[in-house]
Amino acid sequence: MDKKVLLIEDEPNIIEAVSFILSRDGWNVKTHSNGHDALDAVRNRQPDLIILDVMLPGKSGFDILQEIRADSELTQTPVLMLTARGQEKDRDMAEKAGASRYMTKPFSNAEVLEVVRSMVGL
């Protein structure tokens, strides 16, 4: 497997953990850690899957997702949203903005692997 995943997250420890888990599973992991130019990073990397945190410096994850969906080349790219706020309305907002899946922190490593695999049809 040589699937490319782009992780957009600002907590260095979480970046490290998720990168570790996914690399060991055979993913090609790229990371990006701010909201301002997240869309450019997505366009440049052309990932098969995006993992997007909600609370990012510069721009909220919901706004970034809307921009991704507005780009004709990226409408179909699966996006997994991560949030630490775990409220119902966040889930609604994620769905409205066009998230493919939604997970609340903290998560189990196995669950993350399972979800990302299913999202790219593995």
Partner 1 sequence: MATLNVLVLVCLLYVAFLFAVAFGADRAARRGRGTWLRSPIIYTLSLSIYCTAWTFYGAVGFAARSGLEYVTIYLGPTLVMVGWWWTLRKMVRVGRSQRITSIADLISSRYGKSNTLAVFVTLLAVIGTTPYIALQLQSVTLSFATFAASDPTAAELPDQQSTALWVAFGLALFTILFGTRNLDANERHHGVVMAIALEAVVKLFALLAVGVFVVWGLAGGVSETLARIDASPIADWNMTGSRWIGLTMLSAAAFMCLPRMFQVMVVENENEDHLRTAAWAFPGYLMLMSLFVIPIAALGLQTLPEGANPDLFVLTLPLQEGRDGLAILSFIGGFSSATSMVIVAAIALSTMVSNHVVMPVWLWVTGGTAVVSGDVRNVALLARRMSIAGIVLLGYLYFRMSGGGTALAAIGLVSFAGLAQFLPALMGGLFWRAANRTGALAGLGVGFLVWLYCLFLPSFGPSAILPQDVFDNGLMGLNWLRPQALFGAQGMDPLVHAVMWSMLLNTAVFVFVSLVTFPQPVERLQGAQFVNVFEHSSGAATGWSGHLARSEDLMIMSQRIIGARQAQALFSGAAQRQGLAGYLPEPTPDFLQELERELSGSVGAATAHAMISQIVGGATVSVEDLMAVADETAQIMEYSSKLEAKTQEQERTARQLRAANEKLTQISVQKDAFLSQISHELRTPMTSIRAFSEILRDTGELRPAEQAKYVTIIHDETIRLTRLLDDLLDLSVLENGQVVLNVQTGRLGDLLDRAVSAAGGDDRAALQILRDRDDEDVMLTTDLDRLVQVFINVISNARKYCDAAQPVLTISLKREEGSLMIDFIDNGSGIPTNQHSVIFEKFSRIGEIKADGAGLGLAICREIMARIGGEITYLPGQSGAAFRVILPEAIASEAHAAPA
Say if CB 53 and CB 10 are below 8 A apart.
Answer: yes
Nearer to partner 1, 110 or 121 (CB): 110
Residue 73 beta carbon to partner 1: minimum distance, rounded to whole angstroms: 28
Helix (H, G, I), strand (E, B) or coil at 56: coil
Q: Which is nearer to partner 1, 35 or 77 (CB)?
A: 35
Binding partner 1 (rule: CB under 8 A), the pick from 1, 16, 46, 71 is 16
Burial of 61 (0-12, 13-18, 19+ CB in 10 A): buried
Q: Which is nearer to partner 1, 28 or 109 (CB)?
A: 109
Using CB under 8 A as the binding rule, whether residue 14 contacts partner 1 is answered as: yes
Query: Which of 44, 75, 87, 118 is the binder for partner 1 (CB under 8 A)?
Result: 87
For residues 31 and 50, the answer to whether their CB atoms sit within 8 Å is: no
Q: Rounded to whole angstroms, how far apart are CA atoms 74 and 1?
A: 21
Token couple for 26: 């055979």
Residues near partner 1 (CB under 8 A) are 10-11, 13-14, 16-18, 20-21, 24, 55, 57-58, 84-87, 90, 104-110
